[in-house]
């Protein structure tokens, strides 16, 4: 009984209340876990801040879904930053996802170099993806993923296959409206101790996921999608976890950035910019303006205190 109707109904009603969420599932008869990510509003917020060409919007959506999947997989409190760089048409994609489910993202691109149907190899040739885990407590970790696959999902899957991490496979897609992701991960041997049976079950589950069409991943709700793939495998689908767009910028952080320049440079900036230094947040387009009186106040009495008002 993989899908007791009562449980499926409960989860469906949660889905309706929550536009963006991640949701775990666990196979009962093998040591494999999975995760699904559904992004709609947060993805729309990201796209509303900048007019990205469709191929850039798609890549950024895939990276958003990847970040949300990874945050749940890595189990830490803090911030995950995915930063993809290349010398091609898309020099930068950046996504941040906190362990609280706060997402923000930005892309830089050269419009004249973007073709209509360009994928990852065309847009980010010889690219690399830096994956930084910045925990609230403990050491920062960075992994480097080479972007030499046909898709972002392929690149992440081969990174996990070649690293010492648990085997993990990714499926990602985005269409400018919604972004979705699926992850499968092999857990340490517990239910299936025989290495051959373990490998066979992993291959079976991954092969079935590989049959998923883009329109199915984009269009189906999670219970339907899992039923279509795994109706013969008993599995449990857990409660969804909310994800949302939220920018971590603030007037105080912008003020701290000015203070870190030092008084002389901050005053030089003021003179160069007609008496008002404006700091724009690239993630959410919020503007923070500081005039001569603000700057003087920042550096008065040691200069560590930022004014708490929010003038724009
Ligand atoms: Zn912001």
Beta strands 102-108 and 244-245 are parallel
| Per-residue pLDDT reduced to its tens digit, 185-241 | 999 999 999 999 999 999 999 999 999 999 999 999 999 999 999 999 999 999 999
| Per-residue pLDDT reduced to its tens digit, 131-182 | 999 999 999 999 999 999 999 999 999 999 888 778 999 999 999 999 999 9
Q: What is the spatial distance between Cα 306 and Cα 207, in angstroms, rounded to a whole number?
A: 55
Assess if residue 122 is contained within a domain: yes
| Per-residue pLDDT reduced to its tens digit, 271-288 | 999 899 999 999 999 999
Query: Which are the contacts of 155, defined by CB distance < 8 A and separation ≥ 6?
Result: 120, 129, 145, 146, 147, 148, 149
Q: What is the CATH classification number for the domain harbouring 257?
A: 3.90.1280.10
Q: How far is the CA of 123 from the centre of ligand 1 (A)?
A: 26
Assess if residue 305 is contained within a domain: no
Q: What is the spatial distance between Cα 225 and Cα 215, in angstroms, rounded to a whole number?
A: 11
pLDDT at 164: 73
* pLDDT band of 70, cuts 50, 70, 90: very high
Q: How far is the CA of 28 from the centre of ligand 1 (A)?
A: 42
Residue 108 sits at φ, ψ, to 5 deg, of -115, 145
Do residues 148 and 155 touch, judged by C-beta distance below 8 A? yes
Q: What is the spatial distance between Cα 21 and Cα 14, in angstroms, rounded to a whole number?
A: 10
Residue 310 has pLDDT above 50, yes or no: no
Neighbours of ion ligand 1 (CB under 5 A): 247, 249, 281, 283-284, 286
Assess if residue 306 is contained within a domain: no
Assess if residue 1 is contained within a domain: no
Assess if residue 286 is contained within a domain: yes
pLDDT at 163: 82
Q: How far is the CA of 226 from the centre of ligand 1 (A)?
A: 36
* Pair (136, 99) in one structural domain: yes
Instruction: DSSP for 249-277, please give it.
Output: --HHHHHHHHHHH-HHHHHHHHHHTTTEE
Q: What is the CATH classification number for the domain harbouring 241?
A: 3.55.30.10
Residue at a domain's end among 245, 260, 281:
245
* Pair (182, 201) in one structural domain: yes
Q: What is the spatial distance between Cα 172 and Cα 180, in angstroms, rounded to a whole number?
A: 6
* Pair (262, 280) in one structural domain: yes
Residue 260 has pLDDT above 90, yes or no: yes
Q: How far is the CA of 99 from the centre of ligand 1 (A)?
A: 18
* Pair (225, 257) in one structural domain: no
Assess if residue 310 is contained within a domain: no
Kindly list the distances between the CA atom of residue 171 and the CA atoms of 156, 184, 185, 216, 261, in Å, as whole numbers in the listed order. Answer: 9, 9, 12, 12, 43
* Pair (133, 255) in one structural domain: no
pLDDT at 16: 52
Q: Which residue has the tokens 């996802």?
A: 97
| Residue ranges making up the domain that contains 260 | 251-300
Core vs surface per residue 277-312: b (16+ CB within 10 A) or e: bebebebbebebebeeebbebbbeeebeebeeeeee
* Mean pLDDT for the chain overall: 90
* Pair (261, 213) in one structural domain: no
pLDDT at 17: 64
* Pair (226, 255) in one structural domain: no
Q: How many domains are there within the chain?
A: 2
* Pair (241, 265) in one structural domain: no
Tokens of 191: 């239910």
* Pair (167, 265) in one structural domain: no
| DSSP helix/strand/coil, 100 | coil
Of the two residues 105 and 306, the one the predictor is more confident about is 105
Residue 105 sits at φ, ψ, to 5 deg, of -160, 155
* Pair (37, 84) in one structural domain: yes
Q: How far is the CA of 246 from the centre of ligand 1 (A)?
A: 8
Residue at a domain's end among 209, 228, 245:
245
Residue at a domain's end among 229, 245, 261:
245
Residue 42 has pLDDT above 90, yes or no: yes
* Pair (269, 227) in one structural domain: no
The number of residues making up the chain comes to 312
Q: Degrees (nearest 5) of the Cα angle 95, 98, 101?
A: 100
Q: How far is the CA of 286 from the centre of ligand 1 (A)?
A: 6
pTM for the whole thing? 0.88
Residue 303 has pLDDT above 50, yes or no: no
């Amino acid at each position: 009984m993989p899908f007791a109707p009562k449980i499926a109904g409960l989860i469906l009603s949660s889905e309706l209340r929550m536009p963006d969420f991640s949701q775990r599932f666990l196979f009962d008869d093998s040591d494999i876990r999975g995760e699904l990510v559904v992004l709609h509003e947060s993805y729309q917020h990201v796209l509303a801040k900048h007019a990205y060409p469709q191929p850039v919007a798609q890549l950024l959506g895939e990276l958003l879904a990847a970040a949300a999947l990874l945050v749940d997989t890595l189990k830490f409190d803090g911030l995950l930053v995915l930063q993809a760089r290349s010398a091609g048409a898309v020099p930068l994609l950046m996504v941040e996802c906190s362990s609280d489910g706060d997402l923000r993202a930005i892309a830089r691109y050269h419009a004249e170099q973007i073709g209509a149907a360009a994928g990852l190899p065309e847009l980010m040739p010889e690219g690399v993806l830096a994956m930084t885990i910045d925990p609230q407590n403990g050491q920062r970790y960075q992994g480097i993923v080479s972007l030499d696959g046909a898709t972002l999902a392929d690149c992440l899957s081969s990174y996990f296959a070649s690293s010492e991490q648990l085997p993990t496979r990714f499926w990602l897609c985005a269409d400018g409206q919604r972004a979705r992701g699926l992850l499968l991960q092999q857990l340490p041997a517990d239910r299936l101790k025989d290495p051959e049976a373990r490998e066979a079950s992993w291959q079976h589950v991954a092969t079935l996921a590989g049959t998923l069409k883009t329109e199915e991943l984009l269009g189906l709700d999670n219970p339907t999608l899992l039923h279509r793939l795994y109706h013969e495998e008993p599995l449990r689908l857990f409660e969804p976890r909310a994800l949302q767009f939220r920018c971590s910028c603030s007037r105080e952080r912008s003020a701290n950035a000015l203070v870190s320049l030092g008084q002389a440079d901050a005053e030089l900036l003021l003179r160069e910019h007609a008496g008002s230094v404006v700091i724009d947040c690239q993630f959410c387009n919020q503007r923070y303006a500081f005039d001569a009186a603000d700057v003087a106040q920042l550096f008065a009495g040691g200069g560590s205190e930022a004014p708490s008002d929010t003038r724009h």
